[in-house]
A and B are shown apart, each in its own frame.
Chain A
Amino acid sequence: MKLLVCISQTPDTTAKISFNADGTEFNPAGVQFIMNPYDEWYALVRACELREALGGTVVALNVGPAANETTIRKALAIGADEAVRINADPQGAAFVAKQIAEYARGEQFDIIFFGKETIDYNGSEVGAMVAEYLDLPFVSYASKLDLNGNTATLERDIEGGVEVLEVDIPFVVSAAKGMAEQRIPNMRGIMTARTKPLKEVQPVAFEDQAKAVQFTLPPAKAGVKLVEPDNMTELVRLLHEEAKVI
């Protein structure tokens, strides 16, 4: 098995989000960065489990600057065998997808994993783009993935239910809750991660055709209006007359 796990680096879930003075760029000052949770908890762990059961190699891939290597080393500590960093600022989803596709094209991976979305841009775009570039099937929001020979059986979350499907390798998948359980890297993993190969690859030229040009913070909530617990008629009145949602 040759498995690729694409990992993104995102601000921590609890990070306070701010932008520069004219709102054109994210302000990273004081922000803790993490591996995108869905990439880490579900995609990477499931790839490692498959490798443990079937043999092979798990490659962790990140498109990002050298500063991302802490995050990449964490993927190696969790269980990836080797890592690749495409040395570029991950400007937008289409740029990142192009870089991943160009790298993966020559490598013949059996499965290419993504998390279901990143917690910064929440776009869920890159997996489908990579699948299209490589002319591969794509299964999004998969909550289960089992392999039997060359055929995978997957469950994917759909509105109000689950779809069960089969597809032969190679394919692209995005992972959701249920596919695996989060793993905390142990000391041995952290030690061996230091010596595992981390290759740097140069990006190909690509211009994003959709760019984030202006960031704003949502208007602050007016503040909670408290209603006495014995006066639910008043709450219903407010929801009807003031909020107009019933």
Chain B
Amino acid sequence: MVLVFAESPRGNLKKAAFEAVTYGKKVADLLGTTCVALTLGKADNAGELGRYGASRVLNATGAALDHFDSQTYAVTIAEVAKGNNASVVIVSHTSTGKSLAGRLAVRLDAGLVSGVNMLPVTDGGKLKVKKSVFSGKAIAEFEISSAVKVLSLLGNAVKPESSGNPVAVETVAAAASNGRIRVKEVRTQEGRVPLPEAEIVVSAGRGMKDPGNWGIVEDLAETLGATTACSRPVADSDWRPHHEHVGQTGIAIRPNLYIAIGISGAIQHLAGVNNSKVIVVINKDPEAPFFKAADYGVVGDLFEVVPRLNEAFKAFKAAN
């Protein structure tokens, strides 16, 4: 079977979990087997994972699983994988999944491909699967030859598909382990979709001239239900919070729509956003390198164009 670890940060299943189970179900169909979801610690409404294709939903709880420690999590996931003869183990390519995937590969003597964004194909007992490499500048196909395979799934790579029914949650034992990480505090931005999960991102750069000018960017994001982001110089000047910085040193994202306002498009910035499905660039300089990576471009004064675009989106929303 295909085992999917469905993350439930602070007790809530997130988009990453629904994507991973949707993907796991497709992989299971490909292999002619079933998809089983595993949640660890508190996971409200875990049975809902049945809707996304899990034929069984397992939950392990215990004091050691109340906060994230890659060691305790990996031990339990690996035990469940072994106990159920999992041939493929899938995690999300998130802060949690990235800490786990390598551990699971060692523990299960498995080949690992991390950050996959497409379905695998079978080749005898092997799996072939693609991922983006060289910061989006190339695609590599990997061949996994081990009996057990581990994959981590990039965010926004598959759309959650909910067509099944909820299933009853089965409780399984947490493996004994020696977790040594003591989580003291979790600070999250409330109210906004985190950047890695956002489907629409409105991002702005030095062309904004002053942090006091960000109102037009926030208004546009509000209209679109988008998350705001910024370029490195803007974050480094403390015009915007560091967690908004997208690009190579900041966060790499792949939304459906990335709107870049007053960002020239240095290669380090592109490395973090070039996997976006559609890129719109608004810049007064027609020579800005970002236009070469863009799908749609507007050459003009952002202080005029952005409010106009906001009005056009509002009119569109009102009409649809």
Given contact pairs A119-B248, A138-B103, A246-B316, A13 touches B268 in the complex (Cβ within 8 A)? yes
User: Roughly how many angstroms separate A233 CA and B314 CA in the complex, as a whole number?
Assistant: 10
Docked pose: A161 CA to B242 CA in angstroms: 10
Q: Given that A164-B186, A229-B299 are known contacts, is A124 also in contact with B138, CB under 8 Å in the complex?
A: no
How many angstroms from the CA of A243 to the CA of B137 in the assembled complex? Answer: 22
B160 interface residue (CB < 8 Å to A) = no
A-B contact pairs, 12 of them (CB 8 A): A13-B135, A17-B134, A119-B271, A124-B115, A138-B71, A162-B243, A166-B181, A209-B144, A210-B146, A222-B295, A238-B296, A245-B200
Cα(A97)–Cα(B114), bound, Å? 15
A70-78, A129-137, A190-198 - interface stretch? A129-137
Choice from B179, B184, B189, B267 contacting A166 with Cβ under 8 Å: B184
Q: Mark A154-182, 1 if CB is under 8 A from B, else 0.
A: 00111111111111100100000110000
Any chain A CB within 8 A of the CB of B9? yes
A11 interfacial contact with B, CB 8 Å: yes
- Distance in angstroms between the alpha carbons of A162 and B311 in the assembled complex: 35
Q: Which of A101-155 contact B (CB under 8 A)?
A: 119-133, 135, 137-141, 153
* Interface of chain A: mostly helix, strand, loop or mixed: mixed
On chain A, the residues within 8 Å of B136 by CB distance are 218
Inside 8 A of A157's CB, which chain B residues have their CB?
A: 95, 243, 251
A225 interface neighbour in B9, B295, B305, Cβ under 8 Å: B295
Q: Are B183 and A165 in contact, with the CB atoms below 8 A?
A: yes
**A14 contacts the other chain (CB 8 A):** yes
How many residues on chain A are close to B (CB under 8 Å)? 79
| B98 x A160 contact (CB < 8 A) | no
Return the contact of A177 from the options B103, B250, B257, B267 (Cβ within 8 A): B250
CB atoms of A129 and B248 under 8 A apart: no
Question: Do A213 and B141 form a contact, CB below 8 Å, given A128-B102, A129-B105?
Answer: yes
- B128 on interface, CB distance cutoff 8 Å: yes
Specify which of B96, B242, B249, B251 lies most central, judged by the most chain A CB atoms within 10 Å of its CB: B249
A13-B271 contact in complex given A119-B134, A140-B98, C-beta closer than 8 Å: yes
> Can you add 11 more A-B contacts, CB < 8 Å, to A159-B194, A209-B111, A239-B257?
A17-B137, A41-B249, A122-B134, A138-B71, A138-B99, A164-B184, A165-B183, A167-B181, A210-B145, A224-B291, A246-B313
Over the window 72-101 of chain B, the binary record of Cβ atoms lying under 8 Å from chain A Cβ atoms (1 yes, 0 no) is 001000000000000000000011101111
Option from B98, B298, B311 in Cβ contact (under 8 Å) with A124: B98
Q: B113 near A: Cβ within 8 Å?
A: yes
Q: Give complex CA distance A164, B242 in Å.
A: 16
Seen from chain A, the residues whose Cβ lies within 8 Å of a Cβ on chain B are: 11, 13-14, 17, 19, 37-38, 41, 93-94, 97, 119-133, 135, 137-141, 153, 156-168, 171, 177-178, 208-218, 221-222, 224-230, 232-233, 235-236, 238-240, 243, 245-246
Looking across the interface, which residue of chain A has its beta carbon closest to that of B133? A121
B278 at the interface (CB under 8 A from A): yes
Q: Do the beta carbons of A165 and B298 come within 8 Å of each other?
A: no
Residues B106 and A132 in contact, CB atoms below 8 Å apart: yes
CB neighbors of A among B142-182 (8 A): 142-146, 149, 179-182
Chain B 193-236 interface mask (CB, 8 Å, partner A; 1/0): 11111001000000000000000000000001000000000000
Report the separation of the CA atoms of residues A156 and B9 in the bound assembly, to the nearest whole angstrom.
Answer: 14
Complex-state Cα separation, A69 to B295, whole angstroms: 42
The distance from the CB of B133 to the nearest CB of chain A, in whole angstroms, is 5
- B305 / chain A contacts, CB cutoff of 8 Å: 229, 232
Which of A125, A160, A212, A228 sits near B189, CB closer than 8 Å? A160
In the complex, chain A residues whose CB is within 8 Å of the CB of B188: 158, 160-162
Residue from A13, A163, A167, A171 in contact with B248 in the complex, judged by beta carbons closer than 8 Å: A13
Expressed in whole angstroms, the Cα–Cα distance for A124 and B297 within the complex equals: 34
A124–B242 Cα gap in the complex (Å)?
Answer: 21
